Amino acid sequence: MDRLLATPPGRLIYLVDDDIEAALGDTSLPDDYRDRLIRFHGDYHADLVARADTLVVTSDALLRKFSGHRDVRIVHPHWHLDAADDRHFDALADGGDVHAMHLGTASHQAGLEFLVPVIEALLERFGRFHFTYVGHAPRLGALDSHPRVHRRRPQAWSRYRRTLRRQRVHLGLYPLPDTPFNRARSPSKVLEHAIVGAVGVYSRAWPTAANLAECAILAGPKEADWIAALSAYLEEPQRLRPLAQAARRVIGGLNDAKAQRRFWADVFGIRL
């Protein structure tokens, strides 16, 4: 990037996947993660935005943020993996366990912390409820010793994709503090949930959630809102399967490789 800024190419296309400027004041982000974004913004991001001939962004919030740029375009995430079928819901009819997972990385630490009292209440109330999260070290305090709480270590990207293809989950939990940084997050996690066959559970304030009301569970900003929303489905787990089927129809149509190729061909001026 130093060489790029020192000797600009004939045309510069800059892909922006986060509202990096908004991270500067977002204390819900982990300190080390926010510090890296602060350094990146000061060293490169602002100059890259200013010099870019084309900005490619991944959310409506970023599209609005950069609406004054001379050429800004939005691309939706694509995974080279298909949405899962719904066979793993068969066991729920016979009283099988309900598996929920938080698929967030370190940048979603605040969301995982928000879930602690939610998970605690659900574990106490529903004996078939299991919860899994990703982390290098235990992060849930006393809950980490609970027999129905499971932790998986982070994996390299290529291995994670292989693991994801084989994994099956009933509920994908994705709470987001309502901050400008989080409002600009792409819908990538929605596709990730579809790949593992999970019904997504999202913060109602996340702009993407407004398009998912018919195929996901939406909850308010308080822990009690999440406990109530999830309890309604854990009391009647058979209600989850129709949501998963609806999500497969809606989200499968968004995960379109041909549309992705057409988009980049247009950006690069390539005739397919």
φ/ψ (deg, to 5) at 166: -95, -15
Query: 175 is written with which tokens?
Result: 């709470």
Q: Which domains does the chain have, with CATH numbers?
A: 2-78+256-268 (no CATH), 87-254 (3.40.50.2000)
The enclosing H or E element of 170 equals: none
Can you tell me whether residue 178 is helix, strand or coil? coil
β-bridge partners, 152: 134
Nearest to 217 by CA among 167, 249, 174: 174
DSSP label at 255? -
H runs (alpha helix) in 60-185:
60-65, 109-125, 157-166, 180-183
pTM metric for this prediction: 0.95
Any idea which residue has 């943020």 for tokens?
A: 65
62-108 per-position pLDDT tens digit: 999 999 999 999 998 888 898 999 999 999 999 999 999 999 888 89
Tell me which of 112 and 4 has the higher pLDDT.
Answer: 112
109-161 per-position pLDDT tens digit: 999 999 999 999 999 999 999 999 999 999 999 999 999 999 999 999 999 99
31-65 per-position pLDDT tens digit: 999 999 999 999 999 999 999 999 999 999 999 99
- 98 contacts 171 by C-beta, under 8 angstroms: yes
Can you tell me whether residue 25 is helix, strand or coil? coil
CA–CA distance, 197 with 245 (Å, rounded to integer): 9
Q: What's the number of CA atoms in the CB half-sphere (13 Å) around residue 123?
A: 18
- 9 contacts 44 by C-beta, under 8 angstroms: no
- 251 contacts 73 by C-beta, under 8 angstroms: no
